[in-house]
Every structure is written in C-alpha cells, then in structure tokens.
Amino acid sequence: MFLTHLVCSACDTEHDAAWLQNLCTKCRKPLLAKYDLKTVSQKLTRQKLRARVDNSLWRFRELLPLPQNVEPVSLGEGGTPLLRADRFGDQLGLADLWIKDESVNPTQSFKARGMSAAVSMAKHLGATKLAVPSAGNAGSALAAYAARAGLEAYIFMPYDTPQLNVIECCELGARVQLIDGLITDCAATIARRKTQEDWFEMSTLKEPYRLEGKKTLGYELAEQLGWWLPDVVLYPTGGGTGLIGMWKAFEELEALGWIGAKRPRMYSVQASGCAPIVRAFEAGAVHAAEFPNAHTRASGLRVPKAIGDFLILRILRESGGGAIAIDDDEMIRVTREVGGAEGLFIAPEGAACFAALRSLIDSGTIKLDEQVVVFNTGSGIKYLECYG
C-alpha cells in the first residue's frame, strides 16, 4: 500500500490512515490522502499503465488508497470517453473543444468514481452502515456500491430530488428518507443521528476517499490528451470534489514526472439560483457564505454551502480561472443544443458549462485558439422533470 497518511487541508495536522476518519479532529476541515510517490514512481510508469487491460479507474491502483491485496468494490467505473465536440465548437468558432462524458459511469454519473473508492475503504476499515445526504446522483451511487459491498446504505434526500434517483436508491436496497429542505438539512439530520445509529458519514469531503476516486478524472484527462493538459477546464460545481480532486491529481502527476508544470485555467460553473462560489470569487473572499434560498433544477448544483469552499476558491485563483453562474432556463435550452450537435443527452449541470463557455468566449475570456475541456457529470435521463 502506497498510502502513507492523511493530512488536514487547512491546518496540516497529520492523521493515521489505518482507521475510519471523517474531518480533521483539530479544525473540522477535510482530510487529504498522501502517498509515497517516490516508491510509486519506481513501481508504475506510463508505459506499464498503457499495457493494463483494466479500463476502470482502478488501473491507477498504486495512486489509490486501498491496499494492493484487497479487492475493490467496483462496477467498472471510470475509463470514460473524451470526445471531440467539433459541431458545437464550430458554432462558437472554437476549433479544439472536448467533452469528458461521465454519463457512461455506473448509475450514469461521475459520483460512481468517488463512491467506488470511498465504499472500498469504508468496508476495508470496518464500516457496516453508510449514510449520505444527496440531491440525487451521490445517493444512487452509494446505494449501488453499498449493495455491491454487502453494506447498509442510509440516504437522506430533499423532497424535490429527481424521482428517478429516489426510485433507483430504493430499488438498490437503500433506506431512503425524504427531507423537507435542502441537502444541508439532510446533512444536519445525519449529523444528529449518526453516533446513535452507528452510521459512517459519506458526505462530500467529510471523509477522505470520495476525493481519491474523483481525482482519477484528472489522471484520465492527462492520459487521454497525451500527458498534456488543456488550456481551460469548465466544471459544474456543487460540492466541488471533482475540481479539487483533479487539481490534486495534477500535482501528483507532476511529482511522478508524468506531466510538466502547466495547469489549465479552471472555471467553476454554478446555477444563478445557487452560486456561493461565484459570489465569493467575485468578492475576493477566502470562504463562501451560505447561499440564501438556494434553488435550481440542476439538483447537483443545489449546494448552498460547500465544506471545501476555500479549496475551490484557491484553485480557481491559482489557475487563473474563475467562476460563472448560469440561469436554469439557459442550461435547459443548451441541453438541446448540445444534444442536437453532439448526440449526447447531457445533464443540466453539464449544459451549464456549455452555456458558460459561450459567455466566456463572448467576453474574450476564452480565446478561440485555446484547447477547452467541458465536463459533463451525468446523464439527462436522470432529470426528466426538467424537460418537456
């Protein structure tokens, strides 16, 4: 096992990775997994990676936390396509546009990546009951991977969660409770009950290993572009784990000598009705205040307060990127534009990124000769209530 320890993302306090951990015990901020990258570099090369038959995220096994002799809880997640988007790009005058399509993952979203790694580690470290607040796709993923692992799943969702997600969680054997409120209210319910119920909390960034699964987005992106990173990445941001994970992946890849120091400009895309990161970025703030009366049909973006806000904002500024909010009507309209141009029924969150791309090109922020990657984090099939 190449995992060495956990370290707090805020105060640098080290924690032992040998048992179940949630937040830093000193400051209650997210923990990050650290690896012996020098030893990894001796065991794994880009050539060896290319020769592996497994196309799932577990092909990066040395850079993931589960011990080498432990079987991961997997449904074949990861290995998603990076597709040229020439027709939509032509509409914008953009010659080098790509879509990283996460809708082909198990349970049809990128949440599968994080839950595969997190459930694998939770089972390995002795958890038997897993609980998560979810606006939809994280709940579906936890239900699937908990079932695969033989663990109990307890999922708390807002009443207006897309019905398909609720049905999916139930049919996968999870215990589902609908809450009158937002995902933050669901999280508060788990916080009140988890000790008494013996639940291990799997909330975004409140345990260290969902991030490790999500960082494989960055590994795959670099590999698919020939160990080069694009000029711009647009990423739909609720809790922001994928964005934070990719930045971590880029740092690890550079430490291994697999990529250089170049980084993409990272753009966080949110909904106008729930844009805490956008407001904080524009205000020059280090943390994002909770967004009042949060509302959006893109349920994955309805996160009024992200525990990793300071990490997201730091990445946006370090990369020279930014944050932009898109109206619901615009993202729903652009879903059809992308579908008609590229043959993909993308989630509203992904459509928000395409709408943001148009706005950033119009303002001159993104140049027409730049290489741009848009992340589509899920399938529009999961959001049928949004269309019609």
Check residue 216 and give its pLDDT. Answer: 98
- Residues 6+ positions from 333 with CB-CB distance below 8 Å: none
Question: Does a structural domain hold residue 161?
Answer: no
**Furthest-apart CA atoms within the chain: distance in Å:** 57
Check residue 135 and give its pLDDT. Answer: 87
Question: Does a structural domain hold residue 296?
Answer: yes
Q: Is the pLDDT confidence value at 104 over 90? A: yes
- Residues 6+ positions from 114 with CB-CB distance below 8 Å: 138, 141, 209, 210, 211, 212, 213, 214, 241, 245
Q: Is the pLDDT confidence value at 141 over 90? A: yes
Q: Is the pLDDT confidence value at 1 over 90? A: no
Question: Does a structural domain hold residue 104?
Answer: yes
Question: Does a structural domain hold residue 9?
Answer: no
User: What is the distance, to the nearest Å, from the Cα of residue 204 to the centroid of all Cα atoms in its chain?
Assistant: 9
Check residue 386 and give its pLDDT. Answer: 87
Question: Across residues 284-289, what is the average pLDDT?
Answer: 98
Question: Does a structural domain hold residue 327?
Answer: yes
Q: Which of helix, strand or coil describes residue 14?
A: strand
Enclosing domain of residue 375 = 82-109+211-386
Check residue 172 and give its pLDDT. Answer: 98
Query: Would you state the structure tokens that stand for residue 50, as one six-digit string?
Result: 């290319």
C-alpha to C-alpha distance for 24 and 8, rounded to whole angstroms: 6
C-alpha to C-alpha distance for 280 and 16, rounded to whole angstroms: 33
Phi then psi for residue 84, to 5 deg, are -65, 140
Question: Does a structural domain hold residue 233?
Answer: yes
- Model pLDDT for residues 339-370, shown as the tens digit of each residue: 999 999 999 999 999 999 999 999 999 999 99
- Model pLDDT for residues 228-241, shown as the tens digit of each residue: 999 999 999 999 99
Check residue 154 and give its pLDDT. Answer: 98
- Model pLDDT for residues 18-42, shown as the tens digit of each residue: 999 999 999 999 999 999 999 999 9
Residues 26, 31, 35: CA angle, nearest 5 degrees: 125
Q: Is the pLDDT confidence value at 296 over 80? A: yes
pLDDT band of 75, cuts 50, 70, 90:
very high
Check residue 136 and give its pLDDT. Answer: 87
pLDDT band of 87, cuts 50, 70, 90:
very high
Question: Does a structural domain hold residue 98?
Answer: yes
Number of domains in the chain: 1
Which secondary structure element, helix H or strand E, spans residue 261, and what is its range? none
CATH code for the domain of 237: 3.40.50.1100
pLDDT band of 102, cuts 50, 70, 90:
very high
- Residues 6+ positions from 368 with CB-CB distance below 8 Å: 92, 93, 94, 95, 361
Q: Is the pLDDT confidence value at 388 over 80? A: no
pLDDT band of 387, cuts 50, 70, 90:
confident
Evaluate whether 379 touches 103 at the Cβ level (below 8 Å). yes
Q: From residue 302, how far is each of 236, 269, 292, 367 by CA, in Å?
A: 11, 12, 11, 30
Nearest-10 Cα torsion for 315, 317, 321, 322: 100
- Model pLDDT for residues 148-204, shown as the tens digit of each residue: 999 999 999 999 898 999 999 999 999 999 999 999 999 999 999 999 999 999 999
Question: Does a structural domain hold residue 165?
Answer: no
Q: From residue 162, how far is each of 110, 121, 140, 240, 324 by CA, in Å?
A: 17, 29, 11, 20, 24
Check residue 143 and give its pLDDT. Answer: 98
Residues 79, 81, 84: CA angle, nearest 5 degrees: 160
| Nearest one of 299, 302, 297 to 386, comparing CA atoms | 297
Check residue 232 and give its pLDDT. Answer: 98
Q: Which of helix, strand or coil describes residue 370?
A: coil
Give residue 93's identity as a one-letter amino acid code: G
Check residue 93 and give its pLDDT. Answer: 97
Q: In what order do the strands lie in the sheet with 82-84?
A: 82-84, 96-101, 371-376, 232-236, 265-271, 322-326
| Nearest one of 378, 360, 379 to 370, comparing CA atoms | 360
Question: Across residues 120-143, what is the average pLDDT?
Answer: 96
| Nearest one of 168, 165, 88 to 351, comparing CA atoms | 88
| Nearest one of 317, 320, 349, 316 to 332, comparing CA atoms | 349
| Residue with the two structure tokens 């141009």 | 341
Q: From residue 255, how far is each of 214, 258, 259 by CA, in Å?
A: 19, 8, 8
Q: Is the dihedral of CA 61, 65, 67, 73 positive or negative?
A: negative
Percent of the chain with pLDDT strictly greater than 90? 97
